[in-house]
Amino acid sequence: MNFQLAANTAQRWLRRNWPSKTPFSQDDEGVAIVFVNYNTLDLTASLLFSIFRVLEREAVTRIVAVDNYSTDGSRELLGHFAAAGMLDLIANRRQHYHGPAINQAIAFLAAQQRKASSTPGIRYIWILDSDIILLRSGVIGDAVQFLKAQNAAAIGQFQHDALTEGYAHISSLLIDPAKAWQRRIAPFDNSGAPAANFQESLRRHGYLVSDFPFRTGRYLLHLTRGTLRSIYHQSDRENLYYQWATTHSEHHYHGDSNGRLIHQSFLEAFNREVPELSMEALLATCSKPERIVVPLPD
C-alpha cells in the first residue's frame, strides 16, 4: 500500500460519524463554511470580504479556515479574524494539502457538534475554495432549499472530466454531513480532484449528488488556480503540485466569459471599502452590518 492510500485509509477509518441529532429543529439548520488557505493572502482577503459583506449575516453559523503553513501573511490575517471571534482557525504546522485539510475542518465541526447540545447545531457544510468570490446574498438559502428538495448528500456545479456521471466541483460544494460524513464514505483526498472518490463513494451507497448552478447562476465567481498561482510565483518547488502549477497558474474564471469584468467590479467595491489592505482595516470593514451589492454584467 502506498503512502497516500495508507493516509486516506487512516482518515477514513479513524474518524467518527457525524453525530446524529434528529429530528432537526429550525434552530439546527445552521450552515458552516469551510475553506483551506495556502499562501493566498489577497484571495483569502477577498473571500472573507465577500462572506461578511455580501452574504446575509444570519445565513452563516460558523466559519472554519484551515491554513497549510502559509508564509505570505495570510495565516496571520486568519489568526486576526480568529482572535476577534469571526472564525475558527486550524493552523497546521506543515503542508497537509487540500483534501486532507477539508477532512480536518469537518472533523473539527463534528467534534464541536457533539458538544453543542444547548446551542444551534450545524446541519450543512459549505466547502469553498479560497479563490471564490461570493456575488449574491441569497446563495445559501437557495442552495440549501435545493439540497433538501433533492434529498441529496452533496450539491455543486457539475463538470464531467473527473467523473463521467458528473463531478460536483469542490470549489463550491454543499454537503449534508449526516449523510456524507460517515466512516463508510471515502473522505476527501490529496489529488487533483479531491472530491471525486468522495462522490463516487456516496453514489455507491445510494446517496444523491446533484448539479446546482453555483457559477452559471451567478451566485459566485471562481477565479480558478489561486493556490497553483501562488505555488508557481513563489517557486514552491517542494510542493507536490509545483510542476502542474508551472503550466496552470493563470485565472481562467472557470470558463465564464464575463469573469474578468465581474472580478474587476468586485475589486472596485473591495478597494472602496478597504483602500489600503491591512488586517485591522479588513476586520473593521468585515464587521460592518451594511451589505454590498456587486454589479454584474447583463
* pLDDT averaged per 10 residues, the chain (length 298): 42 73 61 96 97 94 96 96 98 93 96 73 95 97 97 97 94 97 96 95 98 97 81 80 79 91 96 95 97 89
- Rounded to whole angstroms, the Cα distance separating 120 from 138 reads 21
Paired sense of beta strands 88-91 and 122-128, if any: unpaired
- Rounded to whole angstroms, the Cα distance separating 267 from 262 reads 9
Beta bridge partners, 66, equal 36, 90
Spell out where the chain has E strands. 30-37, 62-67, 88-91, 122-128, 132-134, 154-156, 158-159, 167-168, 172-175, 209-211, 220-222
| pLDDT the model gives residue 119 | 55
What CATH number should be reported for the domain whose range is 22-279?
3.90.550.10
